[in-house]
Amino acid sequence: MKPAARSPLHPAALGAGQAAPAAGMPAPPISALPRPRGELEQLEAAWAPPRGWRRIGSVNNIFIGRLYIATAFLFLLLGGVLALLMRAQLAAPGMTLFSAPVYQQLFTMHGTVMMFLFAVPMVEALAVYLLPNMLGARDLPFPRLSAFAFWAYAIGGLAFYATLFWQLAPDSGWFMYPPLSSTAWSPGLNADFWLLGIGFIEISAIAGAIELITGILMTRAPGMTLRRMPVYAWSMLVVGGMIVLAFPAVIAGTALLEMERALDWPIFDATRGGDPLLWQHLFWFFGHPEVYIIFLPAAGLVSTMLPALARTPLVGRQAVVVALCAVGALSFLLWAHHMFTAGLGGLGLSLVSIFSVAIAVPGALQIFAWIGTLWRGQVRWTTAALFVTGFLGAFVLGGLTGVMLALLPFDWQAHDSYFVVGHFHYVLIGGMVLPMFAALYHWIPLWRGRAMSERVGRWVFGLIFGGFNLTFFPMHIAGFLGMPRRVHTYGAGQGLEWPNLVSSAGAVVIAVGVLLFVVDLVRSQRGPEQPHSDPWRSPTLEWLPSEDYGTRSIPHVEHQEPLWHRPALHQEVTAGVHWLPGSLTGGRETLLTSPWEAAPRRVVVLAGDSLWPVLGAVGTAAFFLLMTVKSTAGTLAGLLLATVAIWRWLWQTDAHPPMAEGEAAEGRWLPIGASGRASPSYWATWIVIVVGASVLASMGFAHLHVAMRLAVCPPPGAQLPGSSTLLWATAGYAASAALMAAVGRGLGAGPLARWRVAGLPVAWGLVAGSFELGRRAALGQGPAPTVDAWTGTLAALVAYQGLHVVMLLVLAAYLGARILAGLVRPRQRNTWDNIRLLWGWCCVQGVLVLWWPTIVALGE
Amino acid sequence: MSVAAVMHPASREADTLAAVIEATLWVCTGALALAMLALAGALLWRSRRPVADGVWIWGGGVVLPLLVFGGLLGWSMVKSEGLDEPPPPDALQVSVTGRMWWWDLHYGTDGPAAAFATANELRVPVGRPVRLTLASGDVIHSLWVPSLGGKMDAVPGRLNRLTFTAREPGVYRGPCAEYCGTQHAGMVLQVVAMAPEAFEAWRQAQTRPHASADKVGDNGSRLFQLHGCASCHSVRGHREAPAAEGLGPDLTHVGQRLWLGAGTLRQPGGREALKTWIADVHAAKPGARMPSFQHLPPQDIESLAAFLAEAP
């Protein structure tokens, strides 16, 4: 490999990167040279992708990441086409290119596709592709989970888009406010398809969050302390946390809306005690963090690209990291600014307004950090740099219109007008799409070693950036001239002709620019793969020479700009001088390191290629799709396929490590395998529990919200369960949890004896019995859930717990099978530990569901 | 032509909003200019220079936005305090119910003046506070008359309030501002602000029954009942009992309204617009809930239009 050129940096700036080795950590070289013969071949063999058609079962993050990026980009194009059609209709007043109902499907799908099938998947896809290499990990902690999440998203997303061709696409707007989206006003399957489409994104987002959090905290290269971690990794860590806390609200909301539509439980129906505003609270509690989930990764990408482009470290790097965390946290307080005109009233709105202005401060901090970095450095004018500059202009403008909208008087005029449409396109396109193009131009040499054309890139930038401003700036004016959102046409004589015409022209310019990008992409990537030449002389690890297995050896990191600090890293890593230069077990391994200091702790064997995640995704997609079109046979077939596939996939994981220890570096022996708190799967399980708890909290909030609107609580005819019933059921859940603990006693000393399996059906029986006791008491005597929202939300809580009882049955069966097969042993216990955690949570949840309605009623 | 422009306020409330908006636009344009100047400097100034991190991060990134945006926020809150006050007891009370896709208006009793219903055209006196109570008969709508004030949603199961005091006579457009289905774009409230005496005269005329015209008119009245129009549309004074609530706009004195169909068809006078509407409602407003009356013979349409226009 060609050595990297010495970096032309100001010494003082470089010194700020904490170059001292962390206490107790060796300095390179870590592994002795020469490396044993056959070691590299063994590494390559472990990571070799499957051949032929079985390639589809590859789970390597490079393979999945590329497909993921390509699929998300495809949805950008598909959503963009819808926008072109809309702009064609709006180019002049009174046009009838599309009837109103068709136009309404177009704008609903445009928003839904862009937000759910393009933006969030794209930021996840870029992380799947870039993050492991940037962190010095060989892959993500759960490669099969990423594969499953991707395939479910790809299949589900494409099926969802296809509803357009049958005029079955949703048409109540991308945030689907009831009652318009309820059965009364949207009787067809359209709204159900939206709920379905969202379901796929929810799965892949949660899976993504699990990978991000565990990967960033547990698999970084040794010596990459949190302070040295690239800013992009910080942004993805914050985003992972945000996904875990925000998505559950929309998961709960969509589940409730589907229950209202399918079962006629009146959650949002005002005529039966429900409240349309409940949907808005749930949706926007997710929806506002969602836009920062989309923006923060782009901000992180810019913070990571900019030092390479400006050839100087990021100004105020630590403050930028704090700002990212501040944005993430603050974003959860702003949701009601989407409801400023809903009639909520009073102090709450003022507080939300204050917070909405406050979030501009960490935003401004990052802007000044970036401009400061440009000021200090010397920009290399690549196309990526052009797009970053464009981002700076567009995002500042969009952010400022956001500050305007945060002011109540301003919002009372601008809300739901084209001003808002202008604002959010500036922050979404300016704040995410432009950085995305920058990132694609910047990192594409990682793919096949070839950069794109700089000459064509200037045209791409000019057309996209120029077209973007042409399209969206006039919308602010149209809004102030009284043009509301989501209108399929507008009248002549209001002054709306020229802003709309200019917008429509701009859309065509953007389309030409994107087309040019695609053409140049195809053209520039033709020809054989070649090693990239580190063309931008970047400081971060993803630019080390790498193959499917990542780098030959995992780099030892001593600085926050490792490649600038130690230019010899390129050759050292390839020669195998650093950590884990081969495969100790013959499988795919990476290092687990401590969350803060990244001290090497263990070597884990990652899950390998398999067709089961793909089949599981097919089954899951089929299950949801066919359930939506009400095909019982199809739904059951999909469920069966998904269950079998996921079972077979999981069965191969949690394998017994072939040896207890391995030499990860000269004289450094690390345990192989991890269980308990040292295992990423343990934390993944906790993340799932937090998600489940957040969904529960949202559903509990729904019940509380409708209860608070009742004059008499519980409503006439309804009955709270008696306290003895509640106590018996609580005891049942507690007993089940205790029994599960007993089943696994002594696992630390030796394998679990097969007779322990007997405890599982009893434990499940206790859970099922307690559930049924609670269900009868809560819903058995009172009115049916279709009668009023109090009972409806209660039934939803009970149904949610019921779903978990069914899932526990499957988990009990799986665990029983593992025990019977002798696969639950002291060093092979992740299955046991994680199922027990989930079991415990389900019991806690069961108790909460039992008592919540009583607590709410007593509080009334 | 009716006006809908945020920066052309015609009420005290809209004046306040416009003042806040204008000041905000200036401050934010200034902020944008400052940021772009810094960016341009960073990109165009060729030589490399050291950067005081503290100044950029704490000065530019924290203190500056806190001061500028905090100041703007504080000022806007003070300036708009008056908008929160409850309307005076002598405000004109009108209840507005948004329905797919028209505005159902009920004027309350006002001293000696009786209550009455109308639709799609809200006439108000200049200089007197008007207090609207907003409700919805089906899905969420939103009342927005940019020249007269901010918007307020009409949410099923809730009653929201909106108050404004028109400053000068004029006709002001109020498009529905919450997506509500097929004809969301075709649900425009016209607000006509009039001199107080003119408003009184209008209100008196509204409370009087709909004129039964001459023979042709009587035929129209008969056809109005025969073809089922009266089951959805109330017309004060028609022999048929008032229609069930909320099915269709009240058509008493509809011939005097500036528009038909909630802003769909301009009605300059006479009966042409009414004839166009009745003859083919779905050509004018596709998706409207009113059934088609294309099958009626032209002379029946003529009679109906004449009846509704209160003119021979």
Q: Pick the residue of B66, B178, B189 with the most A CBs within 10 A to test the interface with A by mutation.
A: B178
Mutate to test the interface with A, among B12, B21, B163, B265 (most CBs of A within 10 A): B21
Q: What pairing do the DSSP bridges indicate for beta strands A668-671 and B121-125?
A: unpaired
**pLDDT (0 to 100) of residue A480:** 96
* Res B1: pLDDT: 56
Is the confidence at residue B265, as pLDDT, over 90?
A: yes
Q: For residue B48, what pLDDT is reported?
A: 66
Residues of B in contact with A406 (CB under 8 A): 73
B20 to chain A, any CB pair closer than 8 A? The answer is yes
ipTM: 0.96
Residues A850 and A773: their CA atoms lie apart, in Å, by 10
Instruction: Give me the percent of chain A exceeding a pLDDT of 70.
Output: 97
Q: What is the pLDDT of residues A77-106, one digit of tens each?
A: 999 999 999 999 999 999 999 999 999 999
Instruction: Say if residue B209's pLDDT is above 90.
Output: no
Instruction: For chain B, positions 282-301, list CB contacts with chain A under 8 A.
Output: 286-287
User: What would the pLDDT profile of A21-60 be if each residue is shown by its tens digit?
Assistant: 555 566 777 888 889 999 999 999 999 999 999 999 999 9
A5: confidence class by pLDDT, cuts 50, 70, 90 = very low
CA–CA dist A149, A680 (Å, integer): 18
Is A763 a residue whose pLDDT tops 70? yes
pLDDT in tens, A575-612: 999 999 999 999 999 999 999 999 999 999 999 999 99
Q: Over 60: is that where the pLDDT of B215 sits?
A: no
Per-residue model confidence (pLDDT) at position A33:
85
Mean residue pLDDT across chain A: 94
- Please list the residues that pair with A237 across neighbouring strands: none
Contact A598, A221 (CB under 8 A): yes
Residue A18 has a pLDDT of: 47
B41, B53, B138: residue with CB nearest A315 = B53
Q: How far is CA B167 from CA A76, A237, A413, B9, B105, in A?
A: 48, 54, 18, 9, 22
User: With contact defined as beta carbons under 8 Å apart, do B133 and B161 qualify?
Assistant: yes
CA distance B204 to chain A (A): 32
- Compare CB distances from B43 to A353, A389, A401 and report the shortest one's residue: A389
Look at residue A806 and tell me whether its pLDDT is greater than 70.
yes
Return the closest-CA partner of residue A445 out of A549, A572, A530. Answer: A530
Q: Cβ contacts (< 8 Å) between A488 and chain B: which residues?
A: 184-185
Distance to chain A for B99, nearest Cα, Å:
12
Q: What is the DSSP string of A397-423?
A: HHHHHHHHHHSHHHHHHHTTBHHHHHH
Using the beta-carbon criterion (under 8 Å), do A185 and B142 form an inter-chain contact?
no
Contact between B69 and A410 using a beta-carbon 8 Å cutoff: no
Determine contact: A167 vs chain B, CB below 8 A: no
Interface test with B, best of A89, A96, A180, A352 (most B CBs within 10 A): A180
Three-state DSSP state, B136: strand
Chain B stretch 155-194, residues whose beta carbon is closer than 8 A to a beta carbon of chain A: 155-158, 160-161, 173, 175-185
Mean pLDDT of chain B: 92
**pTM, 2 dp:** 0.95
Say yes or no to pLDDT of A365 above 60: yes
What angle (nearest 5°) sits at the alpha carbon of residue A334, between those of residues A328 and A335? Answer: 110
In chain A, the N- to C-terminal Cα span, in Å, equals 72
Name the minimum distance, in Å, from the CA of B263 to any CA of chain A: 9
Query: What is the band of A250 on the pLDDT scale with cuts at 50, 70, 90?
Result: very high
* B139 vs A180, A400, A490: nearest CB: A180
Q: How far apart are CA B159 and CA B143, in angstroms?
A: 13
- Do the chains contact at A379 and B73, CB–CB below 8 Å? no
Tell how far CA A831 is from the center of its chain: 25
Q: Do B61 and A361 touch (CB under 8 A)?
A: yes
Neighbours of A103 (CB within 10 A): 24
Contacts of B37 in chain A (CB under 8 A): none
A291-295, B210-214, B222-226 — which one is most confidently predicted on average?
A291-295
Q: For residue A838, give the nearest of A821, A818, A817, A815 by alpha carbon.
A: A815
- Give, as one character, the DSSP assignment of residue A163: G
Contact B175 A487 (CB under 8 A): yes
Residue A802 banded pLDDT, cuts 50, 70, 90: very high
Provide the pairing of β-strand B92-99 with B129-136.
Answer: parallel
Q: Distance (Å, rounded) from C-alpha B47 to C-alpha A278?
A: 57
DSSP state of A338: G
- Tokens 């206790």 identify what position? A766
Residues of A in Cβ contact (< 8 Å) with B134: 343
For residue A483, the chain B residues in CB contact (below 8 A) are 175
Residues 75-134 of B with CB under 8 A from A: 76-77, 79-80, 83, 100, 134
Higher local confidence (pLDDT), A240 or A23: A240
For residue A29, cis peptide bond before it (omega within 30 degrees of 0): yes
Contact across the interface for A367 and B156, Cβ inside 8 Å: no
Q: Is any Cβ of chain A less than 8 angstroms from the Cβ of B9? A: no
**Structure tokens given for A251:** 């998961």
Tell whether omega for the bond before A34 is within 30 degrees of 0, i.e. cis. yes
Q: Are A222 and A595 in contact (CB under 8 A)?
A: no
pLDDT tens-digit readout, A275-317: 999 999 999 999 999 999 999 999 999 999 999 999 999 999 9
| Chains A–B, number of C-beta pairs less than 8 Å apart | 248
* B48, B56, B142 member nearest A316 (Cβ): B56
The residue whose two tokens read 């409602």 is B281
Torsion of CA B205, B208, B211, B212, to 10 degrees: 180
- pLDDT greater than 50 at residue A11: no
Residues B293-307 as b or e (16 or more Cβ within 10 Å = b)? beebeeebbbbbbbb
* Residue A26, pLDDT score: 65
Whether residue A101 lies within 8 A of chain B, CB to CB, comes out as: yes
According to the model, what pLDDT value does residue A718 have? 86
Model pLDDT, residue A9: 40
pLDDT on residue B25: 96
| pLDDT value at A4 more than 50 | no
Point out the least confidently predicted range of A476-490, B51-65, B145-159, B181-195: B51-65
Maximum alpha-carbon separation in chain B:
93
For residue A566, pLDDT beyond 80: yes
State the pLDDT confidence band at A2, using cuts at 50, 70 and 90: very low
- From residue B128, alpha-carbon distances to A548, B80, B144 in Å are 75, 19, 19
